Structure 1
């Protein structure tokens, strides 16, 4: 589990207690304290090596010398040692604060020595001795234990060294086209029954197929309401109806917990009146769902509801003939081999012409035609050297052992530093989409990602991102939604892996969730270190709540209830973990999505080790003032809140990431002079040159979003400020003119020198004759809004070698012609032209060999002539036309006649595939980061807002 990560952290903390100068001693007692600390470090180093050896052995042989009970005991002992040390350090810090306030002067070294030698160090050494005893028992219980060398199935190079291969990995998923078409055609109105059942055994691809349909753009546009429901194994009608209500109800908050089943159904029917709705019910295991959910919704004449349910047991289907069944069997050898080659990222001839082909029969036998097994084995082998020796070690020696499951093998083969990151995903509900941004920050706060070099110079989030990419490559994480540039936005652990690993992780005490814990018969192992609640603490079993005590390190609230009253449960939990000793050891407090949690100044101020505070989408009105003084706080996320009172963040000097809400950023007052560790500052309002002077000192910033008056951004101070922020990778700059001033330009001449800058968003007028001064050379994503350059920007932008996404929004085209020259835009895959009403129609011309990678083109509310040269773009797959004349669409269809290009038009619902709702842009659908379509107040939809981290 995460024992290695915790042991490494404890060693690091102990090393911090040693004097910087090894020769430093006291007059009377030269090295007693140093010997105590060094002895603890040596013991933990030995334990760490044992754990690494055991990890290597398990990866090589598939066999562990420790059963779940021993693992749980060892993990709990490691946690206890860490708790003892942290308690010791915190008591010291509190005492020093008290001494400073009272004016007492102590010699810090003597105070530390006395404190540790009296109580703290004794308790810590006791816990370490217990650890050593557990380790020795584990070793002697298996006499065949031996250290595995580099040849034991591990990579000769570390996972960090394979970074280049990870970066080149294509994240596109493949789904059986015939199955997709068959299911899609059955959704066509009035031709088939309203219920479709997808039947297949675990790992057969039911969820993947349903998800592919559910997320298709044409399906999302046709069905104005959608809901994806994970049906609980213990079926609960109110819970299912509540989930449906929450997902289709975007306009208001209701108190779901007080409504009866009939009231919930009445609200759903009322909301669906006149609408088209698609509901997916996943993992159905009971026929009871027919009477309580399916019949009332499918039989209504007030709306058109289509339902897809997935099940592994045909006997659990509703006992009626009014549905269509789609059976998913195992793949045949040809289909299995094709899928395997796709996941291992090799072509047929590459394998046929090598000795690897001799392993084909064994690979197909191991996978047995189940897509889940094929995907995992392919992902595992994709990380190995393409040689017979490497592949045969996996296929013949390890996977060939009938006692070793492919899922267990995939986990065993993970590098030890990634294993806790993978297991942590099980703390979230099954198949719930987890924002990648949220997951990575939690991994860092938990200490799973250890710095290789100087912690102050290491970007922990980049390291966590590499862990994420490794898990994606191995197909152990499934990416669900992506940003416009293709980078992952949300993800989850595949269902078969979740079922296999989450219960095991909970059984050994890696984390606890509000269910199942009551079945734990060993009270010693039930102590809660990490806690996740899915519907508030009120519903926790008494047996679990009894073990939530002062050593709780992580609390993740995933409260999906729709409510209109503030949540008080979080305050109850904090009070409990603080009550015994006056402070808490909590590292992570993640309340994202919980409605207005009650957090008092007193309780939050005692969380002295808190690193991550996630309050996004909580709509809280008040941020506790003590947040600004938390000494260890690294990430503060208050996006989508209603903070009304000013909060000063002055002493949180370790802050690395701050996410502010547009409406509250002027209420959160940052002392930028002390926050020199900031890497992310997203959503800040600046109002004066003095603030820019402070901002220019934050030279470690990689992500910055600023809003300010146009006159501020045209000043010399603005140029000087951005010239010094040379580490920026993402910049969003929103100027707010008090009136439309066509000569009020943004002056950022230095941006062209920012070679690290990859994402740039500029809202404001730019001087067209100096446009090149504003465009960094390595951009991957560029958005210009209200720029009014007065020249054709395409020749300049087409020279950017890495540009992947280009958005020209609201009056960023002020010329009659846009010309994409031959060879220009070599990497561009998405082009959006929005809200351009120049006095003459604009003509877009694409010359031959221009835009050679373009997949998507969107034109919205523009005065344009039919584009020329689109037929030359052979990679083009999709064109979206919104609020464009019918004649424009007809002209585009003629240009692309005979080409397999999907053309969508919001004003011409001539067929199911061509229908487009007139509501939101597709990027807004189901987007947890959306801030509204007209946020900038200029009538141009700003879908870039939906991708803010």
Structure 2
């Protein structure tokens, strides 16, 4: 049964400090129904690897061999979560070495036969539904935290908890709904709704309970929740990407002095407090980094999205849109198979998101460009060997993300996308910090006044190009990762409201460090996050770099790598009044502490 707590129990075990100390290495992989064995091996290899070597573009056989070598002779703990059939276990089991050293594999599944098949001689832990008393304890904790809550609400609260029939997911979702009304003004009404949902005899009682929370959402939160269905099952969702796509979709309506991104964070907090999405990872400063959505709640998303013609998922087994699903506004493609042009003959499409590994082709670009009203195009999983010029015809785009594998430049004509708010361009199959593997950027980017976020992989803008810059990007909040940016006062004044900056410096002996003018960071008065990575090509250089660093006082997060600042000069960092997170990596400073 879904939502009974299998993953929660396993996660608590996995994260227990005593368990962590007992094993040499640990790995957690979500398998799900539509798994790819290469992806499973990739996660396991990345989690158990000792050398950090590159594993992308490896075959399943190569990854399996690497996994075996990573685990051999080590005491390991592997969690395989959400396994649906025996084949998934057959695909990986022989690559878990049995060295008789108390290594363990935990497998969670809804199917008893899968558990028995994995280890016929072991005892299986069958999860039980909660008792009425445990149900009330969980509901009370969800609504009131460590407080007991008003005594007069206990009777109706116990009734609601008992009507959830002991299913933890249903209890915490209803608890999230009740937490919006801690005075209990509407608890009687909610209790009646829960009772009515459980009285159904169509086998969909629990889904109906989950629907109660969705139905109570305000009009501005409903599309934000439905958008969670865009992502594949068990997908770990990065909050930064989600928020940018929400903004581009137009879900966030400015009503306060807060920025659109700040409002989106408030919306997200509301969904989390209602237990409709779950925090998976947090940053060092406590901010939310990634989310997950339970597969039953994702199924609720997809049902409601179909009913409202909000979203269509295209999978490998899809053969086009059903006739009653035309005029879709959003399509999420989870198929590695190229779709024929006539699959989606729909001029209403506003959002196209890919979650499949594809190489670009004229056919594919023609397919994308056929949707003239697109506002969101996330094609990061597609490998473009050259710039897809047809995309420049999509003048309504507000969010564009794609990756390159060959010609590493953006054309000046990118300025045609004048409505663009977010531009993400990453590199695939290129060498780390190789001088030829740099993404050359045109100065015409500064003629795109609505830009809020520019995210590159080793993006480079020649110093001479800044002389051609005619505009100021007043709305720009994010610029990363750019290479060898010369921080002249004139350059930084073209982005006065920048909040996040990431720079890599690949230094050669022909350029003076002082020419980068690091002391001008102080002119970025709104800057809150700064990451600076320094790479010297002279491997024998071990002396502190002659850097004149100065940072703006509003800085909250600072990452330094490879700069070899003498410890005596680190006082410039220690004097920052608002600094919350400091990361010093790979010879960030020299000298004794």
Q: What TM-score, normalized by structure 1, do the two folds share? A: 0.52
Q: Are the aligned partners of 1:745 and 1:766 in contact in 2 as well (CA < 8 Å)? A: no
How far has the Cα of 1:484 moved from its partner? 1.6
How far has the Cα of 1:450 moved from its partner? 1.8
How far has the Cα of 1:437 moved from its partner? 0.9
With over 3 angstroms needed to count, the CA separation of the structure-2 counterparts of 1:263 and 1:722, relative to structure 1, is closer
The C-alpha deviation readout for 1:419-441, integer Å capped at 9, x for no partner, is 11111111111111011111111
With over 3 angstroms needed to count, the CA separation of the structure-2 counterparts of 1:433 and 1:747, relative to structure 1, is closer
With over 3 angstroms needed to count, the CA separation of the structure-2 counterparts of 1:458 and 1:357, relative to structure 1, is closer
With over 3 angstroms needed to count, the CA separation of the structure-2 counterparts of 1:249 and 1:535, relative to structure 1, is farther
Q: Distance in 1 between matches of 2:454 and 2:98?
A: 48
**Partner residue of 2:222 out of 413, 419, 422:** 419
Instruction: State the partner residue of 1:497.
Output: 297
With over 3 angstroms needed to count, the CA separation of the structure-2 counterparts of 1:658 and 1:520, relative to structure 1, is closer
**Partner residue of 2:379 out of 591, 603, 607:** 591
**Partner residue of 1:608 out of 369, 372, 395:** 395
Instruction: State the partner residue of 2:40.
Output: 244
Instruction: State the partner residue of 1:858.
Output: none
How far has the Cα of 1:601 moved from its partner? 4.1
Instruction: State the partner residue of 1:308.
Output: 106
Q: Distance in 1 between matches of 2:266 and 2:159?
A: 31
How far has the Cα of 1:734 moved from its partner? 5.2
Q: Distance in 1 between matches of 2:5 and 2:221?
A: 26
Instruction: State the partner residue of 1:186.
Output: none
SS of 1:383's partner is helix
Instruction: State the partner residue of 1:939.
Output: none
With over 3 angstroms needed to count, the CA separation of the structure-2 counterparts of 1:323 and 1:293, relative to structure 1, is farther
Q: Distance in 1 between matches of 2:65 and 2:97?
A: 14
Instruction: State the partner residue of 1:437.
Output: 240
Q: Are the aligned partners of 1:421 and 1:448 in contact in 2 as well (CA < 8 Å)? A: yes
Q: Distance in 2 between matches of 1:747 and 1:297?
A: 49
Larger radius of gyration: 1
Q: Are the aligned partners of 2:383 and 2:405 in contact in 1 as well (CA < 8 Å)? A: yes
Instruction: State the partner residue of 1:363.
Output: 160
1:488 aligns with 2:303: no
Q: Are the aligned partners of 1:595 and 1:619 in contact in 2 as well (CA < 8 Å)? A: no
Instruction: State the partner residue of 1:622.
Output: 408
Q: Distance in 2 between matches of 1:269 and 1:770?
A: 43
Instruction: State the partner residue of 1:461.
Output: 261
Q: Are the aligned partners of 1:678 and 1:700 in contact in 2 as well (CA < 8 Å)? A: yes
1:758 aligns with 2:521: no
Q: Distance in 1 between matches of 2:114 and 2:314?
A: 27
How far has the Cα of 1:294 moved from its partner? 6.3
Q: Distance in 2 between matches of 1:734 and 1:289?
A: 41
Instruction: State the partner residue of 1:572.
Output: 363
Instruction: State the partner residue of 2:314.
Output: 514
Q: Distance in 1 between matches of 2:132 and 2:583?
A: 47
With over 3 angstroms needed to count, the CA separation of the structure-2 counterparts of 1:714 and 1:286, relative to structure 1, is closer
With over 3 angstroms needed to count, the CA separation of the structure-2 counterparts of 1:774 and 1:313, relative to structure 1, is closer
Residue ranges of structure 1 left out of the alignment (5+ in a row) = 1-200, 234-238, 787-808, 813-836, 843-949
SS of 2:393's partner is coil
Q: Distance in 2 between matches of 1:776 and 1:447?
A: 37
Q: Distance in 1 between matches of 2:547 and 2:62?
A: 56
How far has the Cα of 1:321 moved from its partner? 2.8
Instruction: State the partner residue of 1:336.
Output: 135
Q: Are the aligned partners of 1:340 and 1:378 in contact in 2 as well (CA < 8 Å)? A: yes
Q: Distance in 1 between matches of 2:374 and 2:401?
A: 13
Instruction: State the partner residue of 1:373.
Output: 170
Q: Distance in 1 between matches of 2:163 and 2:264?
A: 32
Q: What TM-score, normalized by structure 2, do the two folds share? A: 0.80
1:312-331 aligned within 5 A: 312-319=110-117, 321-331=120-130
With over 3 angstroms needed to count, the CA separation of the structure-2 counterparts of 1:742 and 1:293, relative to structure 1, is closer
SS of 2:522's partner is helix
How far has the Cα of 1:324 moved from its partner? 2.8
**Partner residue of 1:748 out of 550, 569, 589:** 550
The C-alpha deviation readout for 1:468-487, integer Å capped at 9, x for no partner, is 11111111111111112222
Q: Are the aligned partners of 2:142 and 2:179 in contact in 1 as well (CA < 8 Å)? A: yes
**Partner residue of 1:664 out of 428, 453, 459:** 459
Q: Are the aligned partners of 1:344 and 1:382 in contact in 2 as well (CA < 8 Å)? A: yes
Residues matched between the structures, number:
552
Residue ranges of structure 2 left out of the alignment (5+ in a row) = 47-53, 431-436, 506-511
What value does the CA root-mean-square deviation take over the aligned residues?
A: 3.9
Q: Distance in 2 between matches of 1:518 and 1:686?
A: 46
**Partner residue of 1:231 out of 25, 28, 32:** 32
More RCO (CA 8 Å, sep 6+)? 1
**Partner residue of 2:418 out of 625, 631, 641:** 631
With over 3 angstroms needed to count, the CA separation of the structure-2 counterparts of 1:713 and 1:546, relative to structure 1, is closer
The C-alpha deviation readout for 1:798-854, integer Å capped at 9, x for no partner, is xxxxxxxxxxx8547xxxxxxxxxxxxxxxxxxxxxxxx62xxx6xxxxxxxxxxxx
How far has the Cα of 1:546 moved from its partner? 1.5
Q: Are the aligned partners of 2:243 and 2:261 in contact in 1 as well (CA < 8 Å)? A: yes
